[in-house]
Chains A and B, each alone.
Chain A
Amino acid sequence: MILDIFQYGFALRAIEAGIIVAIIAPLIGIFLVLRRYSLIADTLAHVSLAGVAVGALIGFNPVITALLATVVSSLGIERLRTSKKVYGESALSLFLSGSLALAVVLLSIAKGLNANLLNYLFGSIVTVTTNDIFIISALAAVVIVTLLLFYKELIYITFDEEAARVSGIPVRSINAILMVLSAFTVSISIPIVGVLLIAALIVIPVVAALQLRQSFAKTILCAEAISLFSVLAGIVVSFYFDLATGGTIVLIMLIIFGGVSVWKK
């Protein structure tokens, strides 16, 4: 029997959240990917798991605790990286393993949350609450407005950091802003794709769009199209076939990436 996806409130909420996430992720992703920062998305995702664990433990909305954890860590990572006391990727490793360890310990204290945990790890359209939608929309608005405000500075720094500095752009502050926005984006994406696959959402549509070799503006548009299609298709497919939403979305993105790569060869 075929169920009508639009009859279900949770499915509609998932679609709403999915559209928001699909729009935001590539906007941040293009700057992270081009600056070889892709792994920051993954690291912040693991940090967000620790945040989720804290939320679960104290009974607070996990999206909010994840947001706090990722924002603080993103600034910590940037600080460690620019201090040059630790190599960039070592800074990421410290945060990645440290937060995962913290999450595991916290979750072992709060026993009985294991079923819920799977939803946070891999994403599930059932977990999206109306409250989540409200938080996600607010965060998304902040991300979009901030990106628009610093769009030209971000492009310049991403393309040529040194020349951007010589032209008087406050590179350090803008880098910090990008990190905080990445933290926001990761937190927004948790309910839909889950902690473990957030990085894929931020990175894959951009990498696929880059294969098309277009202008910066067109590359963003292509990444947006790939992202929106994959997320919506992933939600619908996972709904009808009872699959994990996050995994389905990421697999669809990878198929598109593969197709684009082969076509452009």
Chain B
Amino acid sequence: MQKIDIPRTMIEVKDISFSYGPDEILSNISLHIEKGDYLGIVGPNGSGKTTLLKIMLGLLRPASGLVALFGKDVSNFKEWPKIGYVPQKVTNFDANFPVTVKEVVMMGRYARRGLFHETTVQDERLVRQVLEQVEMWEHRDRLIGDLSGGQQQRVFIARALATEPEIIFLDEPTTGIDQKTQNGFYSLLRKLNRELHLTLVLISHDIDMIAREAKHVACINRTLVCYGLPAEFLKYNSATDIFSGGVKIIAHKHDH
């Protein structure tokens, strides 16, 4: 018998609004993320992308609207290990923090273990596995601050993977990383999405890359201005030029 893969809603965002004081940052944003999706959230600087991500993760409370993770309201959500998070690190990172690559990735296991439980040999094995996956195992004993930006980002991906998540949120993961390293990074994400069927939500200002890599694109500018397939986004963008004077769009071939 043939298996039918029924699309499953992982994240539901409904009519989210958010303000800092009198300043409305986001209004009426709705998104719908399904299992296996690769959603790119793009928008100009100050468009509220990161705020939206923080609301989705329960770090900020929206003024109105609803966020449901795996069918549960975010304020009652308990299964946090299902969610991996790669914060915007390269720019605000304490390079002197005394912690090795291995220790950072082990943090990813803490959520799975929970309070009052020691990590085990099994956790060690998983840490090795994810570090090999992102090709950072040989750097395991180096301090995180001694690595290059691209390597650090791989370690943070490994930490997210170590929680064995079903979805990973990434906030501007390629900031301050050179183009060649970025390409390697995006092919790693592609592998996670296509081969391991991990759902990805990626915030970026690199619309060129997002249009090429993601399965869906949500373009935010305080409100949801465009949401759909990358091709639709490219068409919309060339018509309206929302990133005025910003990044240039070059047409790329889609391979998914």
* A215–B143 CB distance below 8 A: yes
Q: How far is the CB of B97 from chain A (nearest CB, A)?
A: 6
Stretch at the interface among B108-116, B226-234, B245-253: B108-116
* In the complex, residue of chain B having the shortest beta-carbon distance to the beta carbon of A174: B115
Q: How far is the CB of A151 from chain B (nearest CB, A)?
A: 9
Is A168 located at the chain interface by the 8 A CB criterion?
yes
* A156–B110 CB distance below 8 A: yes
* B81–A216 CB distance below 8 A: no
* A210–B96 CB distance below 8 A: yes
Is A166 located at the chain interface by the 8 A CB criterion?
yes
* A167–B119 CB distance below 8 A: no
Stretch at the interface among B16-24, B98-106, B198-206: B98-106
Is B83 located at the chain interface by the 8 A CB criterion?
yes
Is A213 located at the chain interface by the 8 A CB criterion?
yes
Is A152 located at the chain interface by the 8 A CB criterion?
yes
* B119–A152 CB distance below 8 A: yes
Neighbouring B residues of A168 by C-beta, 8 Å = 78, 80-81, 111
Is B153 located at the chain interface by the 8 A CB criterion?
no
* B107–A156 CB distance below 8 A: yes
Q: How far is the CB of B105 from chain A (nearest CB, A)?
A: 12
Is A89 located at the chain interface by the 8 A CB criterion?
no
* A167–B103 CB distance below 8 A: no
Neighbouring A residues of B113 by C-beta, 8 Å = 152
Q: How far is the CB of B210 from chain A (nearest CB, A)?
A: 22
* A213–B143 CB distance below 8 A: yes
Q: How far is the CB of B70 from chain A (nearest CB, A)?
A: 13
Stretch at the interface among A72-80, A157-165, A182-190: A157-165
Of the candidates A159, A162, A169, A209, which one forms a contact with B99 in the assembled complex, judged by CB atoms under 8 Å apart?
A: A159
Is B38 located at the chain interface by the 8 A CB criterion?
no
Q: How far is the CB of A159 from chain B (nearest CB, A)?
A: 6
* B111–A167 CB distance below 8 A: yes
Q: How far is the CB of A33 from chain B (nearest CB, A)?
A: 10
Is B185 located at the chain interface by the 8 A CB criterion?
no
* A159–B107 CB distance below 8 A: yes
CA A152 to CA B120, docked complex, whole Å: 13
* B143–A153 CB distance below 8 A: no
Neighbouring B residues of A149 by C-beta, 8 Å = 115-116
Q: Which of B99, B104, B108, B141 has the most CB of A within 10 A?
A: B99
* A165–B107 CB distance below 8 A: no
Is A34 located at the chain interface by the 8 A CB criterion?
yes
* In the complex, residue of chain A having the shortest beta-carbon distance to the beta carbon of B85: A166
Neighbouring B residues of A34 by C-beta, 8 Å = 94, 97-98
* A215–B107 CB distance below 8 A: no
* A167–B96 CB distance below 8 A: no
Is A214 located at the chain interface by the 8 A CB criterion?
yes
Which 3 pairs show the lowest CB-CB distances between chains A and B? Answer: A168-B80, A167-B111, A219-B98
